[in-house]
Amino acid sequence: MALRNIRLEGDAVLSKKCRPVTEMTPKIRELIDDMFDTMYEASGVGLAAPQVGILKQIVVIDVEEDMPYVLINPRIVETSGSQTGDEGCLSVPGMAGEVTRPNYVKVVAQNEDMEEFELEGTELLARAICHECDHLVGRMYTELVTGGLHPVETEEEE
Residue among 9, 115, 132, 157 flagged as catalytic: 132
Residue 140's SS3 state is coil
Q: Residue 74 corresponds to which amino acid?
A: P
20-26: which pairs have CB atoms within 8 A and are 24 or more residues apart?
20/56, 20/57, 20/73, 21/56, 21/57, 21/58, 21/72, 21/73, 21/110, 21/114, 23/114, 24/112, 24/113, 24/114
Is 132 marked active-site?
yes
Q: What angle do CA 61, 23, 76 make, to 5 degrees?
A: 40
Which residues does the annotation mark as catalytic?
Answer: 132
